Structure 1
Amino acid sequence: MTTSTIENPSQPAVNKVLSPVRDFIESRGFPTQRHAYGLDTAFSAEAGSGGRLVILCAEYDALPGLGHGCGHNLIATAAVAAFMGAAKALLDLGVAGRVRILGTPGEEGGGGKVKLIEAGAFSEDVAAAIMCHALPLHQIKDGWSGTAGFRCIASRRFHVEFRGKNAHAGQEPWNGVNALDAAVGAYTAASMLRQQIRPDDRVQAVIEDGGAAPNIIPDYTRMNWGLRSPTIQRVDELCERVKACVQGAATAAGCTVNYKDAPSYMNLKVNDTLCKQYMDEMGLLGESILYQDDQPSSAGTDMGNVSHVVPSFHGMFGIPAPPDVPVHSRGFARAASTGEAHKAAIKSGKAMAMMVMKILLDADIAARIRSDFQA
């Protein structure tokens, strides 16, 4: 058994959102730093000087086969709107403070923000890191139009490679070592494990490569696994149990196994003061925002890792979508491309711009945000 780190996780190339985002920011007089912090598809731009620093996180990666089925185009739109509004206010007022927009690629399994943390993107004395995510309106309970205190659980992703030996499946199958048997065995064992895990744990897997032809004993298969649990400690424990299923299947099939681990996503810490600020600002724009969900979502995000490093906000704004349309679907990709969705993202961006200004100008608010984070 060997273990390595995923350098380029299985996902599409950065889509056509990135270049227009940078071009738009630069066209407004703010130079962007490309390949920020050593990541090919990250960028940053900044306005202001001195004082406190607020970072706006912009996501823009798409989903394989679905496009913007998670609405990252809207996340980027809201972040750009917030940056432009706050930057203009800072420069017009001539007050101390800095706002930075940070392009954070690879949230969909690539752990872009984890890599940015490791590269020092959040090592300064950051007053807050802020972003907002789109969600179908029908998934926001009790008729609210968004959620301030959105909580996510922890998650881990890894690839598994099984290696066996080719043989003719009809003439001499006994001379082969079937790597597909190992993959199917691992999937079956993990399926049985689900009966013995907690209700808020999740185990997901797909076979990405299952062999070339039915008359050839496959000598190579590859699986992609995703695990979720409320805390990073519990997801690590779950990972040990799942990898035991994988190892047992490899042993039974006579295969070797290799793991390629992606960065782990930590649970998202909610900052009460930032939530209150978002609620207030969206209220002034005519939106009713839920303060906090009573139960964490079973989704995961690398913004969770940021929330353990600096005070963070990850809100949700609703967009119109048919009642049977979930996130991570082609239907939501269509919903995220509409004018109504764009207007919702701009409104969220306006609220975040006001949050930025209050954090930079109001020392009491900034202190309460820091106190919530430390608590």
Structure 2
Amino acid sequence: MANDMASVINDEIQRRNGELSSINMHIHANPELAYEEHKAHDAFVSTLRSLGFEVTPHAYGLATAFSADFGSGGRLVVYNAEYDALPGIGHACGHNLIASASFAAFLGAAAALKTSGQPGRVRLLGTPAEEGGGGKLKLIAEGAYKGAAACLMVHPGPGHNLPPGIHGVAFVHMLANVKMRVHFTGREAHAAIAPWDGVNALDAVCLSYNAVSMLRQQIRPYERIHGVFRAAGDRPNVTPADCTVEYYCRSATKRGAEALWERVRKCFEGAAVATGCAMRVEPLNSYADVRPSRGLCEAYVDAMPAGTVALDKPADILAGSTDMGDVCYECPGFHGVFGIDTKEGEANHTKGFAAASGTQDAFERALECGRGMAAAGWRVLSDDAFAERVRREWEEDMKRAAEGKLAC
């Protein structure tokens, strides 16, 4: 039965190569920023409807989200389609490939369900604004993943960081990221006539910057702190009264990132006291750590061509943070990585990676991942014992997460 369904999945993805390629090229050629992905949204809605799927545009209260569903009863498997780009450098994180892989997985899993005639549901969820906008956080709040037995997606990364013959990695842990904007308020004064009348918010910014830089000596090797000045005054002869910085604090777990932020907060508080400024903290859309389901990862590896996907992560294949981490706290999750080739070995968030994500070779690799995700999703839908194992392991992992421990 498993081999039969693998053939059904492969045949369907091959049969829909035209639609998949069209979506992939359209998204890559029309990069859109977070919450502005109207062309990508409309292209997906139109294509899915032409294929006979039930589609909800502007889903869950988000103008550029959509939801396409197939099947009834049974368990629910969700595939995330990301499609937002980066300012100035387009699809330098390859979200067109993420969308294509998830689209292929959805088509394959839907075909398996249709052929089998058994209960079960698959959903292709258009998830806007991963690049700093926290789109999945809003989808979570609106119940997009409620009751899901699994959620799957893959992400492209730099192929040169993979061992020879290995095209991807299944079990990929990514850092939690607490994001904060800090506003310092002082008092304006003429910097030449009466500087003693001023309370300099830029001084507070600079003091806090140096304090954070010193703190970096005392943090764990996997932790990261980085920030920028958002507002630092307008003219040299006016004492800056309103200055703003934005900082990210990353650690291996959500609990660890929150603890790191509390240490960073003291740097800002101390700078405010030293300069006499008021301080206000504005929380941004923080991301939890990615906690992969071991069972889903193993099923994905089993479904991929033998020896091409490693179960565990080599160093440096994909770092950073993503709102898929928060989905892993809602249901069992899979966030595998596949490598694409860049001309000069560039990694994500570069122009070279954007160019590579538009190649035919990268598209073919995304489709291969889609086949693997469809097979893993089908196993969740059709194998009661496997689905129970995935659910039980996730519940145990949520206990570990509450204690600040890594996924295992």
Shorter-chain TM-score above 0.5: yes
Give, in angstroms, the shift of residue 363 of structure 1: 2.0
Give, in angstroms, the shift of residue 16 of structure 1: 4.2
Quick one: which amino acid aligns to residue 325 of structure 1?
Answer: E
Match of 2:311 in 1: 291
Match of 2:92 in 1: 69
Match of 1:269 in 2: 291
Asked if 1 retains the 8 angstrom alpha-carbon contact of 2:158 and 2:345, the reply is no
Asked if 2 retains the 8 angstrom alpha-carbon contact of 1:156 and 1:226, the reply is yes
Structure 2: gaps of 5 or more residues: 1-32, 397-408
Given the alignment of the two structures, is residue 310 of structure 1 paired with residue 310 of structure 2, yes or no?
A: no
1:338-369 deviations in Å (ceiling 9; x for gaps): 22212211221122122222221222322222
Q: Calculate percent identity across the aligned residue pairs.
A: 44
1:122 & 1:76 partners in 2: Cα distance?
18
Give, in angstroms, the shift of residue 294 of structure 1: 6.2
Aligned match for 1:46, one of 50, 66, 69: 69
Displacement over 4 Å in runs of 4+: 294-298
Aligned match for 2:154, one of 128, 132, 137: 132
Distance change >3 Å, CA 228–CA 160, structure 1 → 2: same
Matches within 5 A, 1:1-375: 13-14=36-37, 16-124=39-147, 126-141=148-163, 143-283=165-305, 288-293=308-313, 298-375=319-396
Asked if 2 retains the 8 angstrom alpha-carbon contact of 1:155 and 1:227, the reply is yes
Give, in angstroms, the shift of residue 253 of structure 1: 2.4
Asked if 1 retains the 8 angstrom alpha-carbon contact of 2:35 and 2:63, the reply is no
Higher relative contact order (CA 8 A, sep 6+): 1
Q: Work out the number of aligned pairs and report it.
A: 363
Give, in angstroms, the shift of residue 76 of structure 1: 1.1
TM-score after normalising by structure 1 = 0.89
Asked if 1 retains the 8 angstrom alpha-carbon contact of 2:108 and 2:371, the reply is yes
Quick one: which amino acid aligns to residue 78 of structure 1?
Answer: A
Quick one: which amino acid aligns to residue 77 of structure 1?
Answer: S
Quick one: which amino acid aligns to residue 316 of structure 1?
Answer: V
Distance change >3 Å, CA 352–CA 190, structure 1 → 2: same
2:315 & 2:165 partners in 1: Cα distance?
17
1:35 & 1:180 partners in 2: Cα distance?
42
Distance change >3 Å, CA 249–CA 102, structure 1 → 2: same
Quick one: which amino acid aligns to residue 312 of structure 2?
Answer: Q
2:184 & 2:87 partners in 1: Cα distance?
23
1:291-337 deviations in Å (ceiling 9; x for gaps): 01266964222222221221111111111113441212222122212
1:64 & 1:250 partners in 2: Cα distance?
33
Distance change >3 Å, CA 15–CA 318, structure 1 → 2: farther
Structure 1: gaps of 5 or more residues: 1-9
Match of 2:10 in 1: none
Give, in angstroms, the shift of residue 141 of structure 1: 4.0
Match of 1:7 in 2: none
Asked if 1 retains the 8 angstrom alpha-carbon contact of 2:300 and 2:376, the reply is yes
How large is the RMSD of aligned CA atoms in angstroms? 2.2
Quick one: which amino acid aligns to residue 243 of structure 2?
Answer: T
Distance change >3 Å, CA 206–CA 96, structure 1 → 2: same
1:337 & 1:209 partners in 2: Cα distance?
36
1:249-270 deviations in Å (ceiling 9; x for gaps): 1222222222111233222222
Asked if 2 retains the 8 angstrom alpha-carbon contact of 1:58 and 1:75, the reply is yes
Quick one: which amino acid aligns to residue 338 of structure 1?
Answer: T
Distance change >3 Å, CA 12–CA 36, structure 1 → 2: closer
SS in 2 for 1:203: strand
TM-score after normalising by structure 2 = 0.83
1:200 & 1:192 partners in 2: Cα distance?
17
Quick one: which amino acid aligns to residue 67 of structure 1?
Answer: G
1:120-171 deviations in Å (ceiling 9; x for gaps): 22222x2211111111101224552100001112211111122223333333
Asked if 2 retains the 8 angstrom alpha-carbon contact of 1:137 and 1:319, the reply is yes
Higher helix share: 2
Quick one: which amino acid aligns to residue 248 of structure 1?
Answer: G
